[in-house]
Amino acid sequence: MPDKPLETTWMGTRVIPAARRAKRVGRRLGRQARSVVAPRIGALGQVRLNAPTTDLTHAGAKPEWVRRCGVVVLRIPDEVRIPRHWREVLIQAERHSVPTVLTVSSADDLKHPLAAVVTHLITTDPQLLPAVQGFAGTERTALVRAEAGKREQTSALFTLTRLHTPLEKS
């Protein structure tokens, strides 16, 4: 039995934190490689994208599926509040550092509580872009063409979210 706790030894102060950092880097590199080879976009609600999405709102979907997604795209729900199932998915996305992107279709969408929760915002309307940028800043917003192909839309989503994605918590 050691005389001092493991946390205060050389192993606890140097080796274990380095192993945790290496694990986070490995996860991030694996996620980036998976995003390039087979990008997965999760969707909450009926998202109008040409890119293929994994529906996270149907009855059989589990909140753990979020971890497999590179990005989660949302739309404003019909309810005034954020739906309960969506909250679970958003919590999982935050826990696993999966960026969330809200599709904004009108200026009223920026008043919904969901606009304050997500990490990024996109719009398909060029006239709405200045209002969206004024709300969230230019680095967290993008204009995605509605008629763009699935590859172009997927690339735009991953380019937008790559810059400001925090490290995954271990």
pLDDT digit string (tens) for 66-99? 888 888 999 988 888 888 888 888 888 888 888 9
**Confidence at 35, pLDDT banded by 50, 70, 90:** low
Highest mean predicted confidence (pLDDT) among 61-70, 146-155, 156-165: 146-155
Query: Tokens 């990490």 — which residue?
Result: 119
The confidence band for 101, taking pLDDT boundaries of 50, 70 and 90, is very high
> Given this model, what pLDDT does residue 170 score?
46
Answer yes or no: are the C-beta atoms of 41 and 157 closer than 8 Å: yes
| Phi-psi domain of 137 (left: phi exceeds 0; alpha: psi -120 through 50; beta: other) | left
Task: State the CB neighbour count (10 A cutoff) for residue 105.
Answer: 14
Q: Is the pLDDT of residue 148 over 50?
A: yes
Which of 141, 107, 92, 139 lies closest to 121 in space, CA to CA? Answer: 141
Most distant pair of Cα atoms in the chain: their distance:
68
Find, among 90, 101, 94, the residue nearest to 53 by Cα.
101
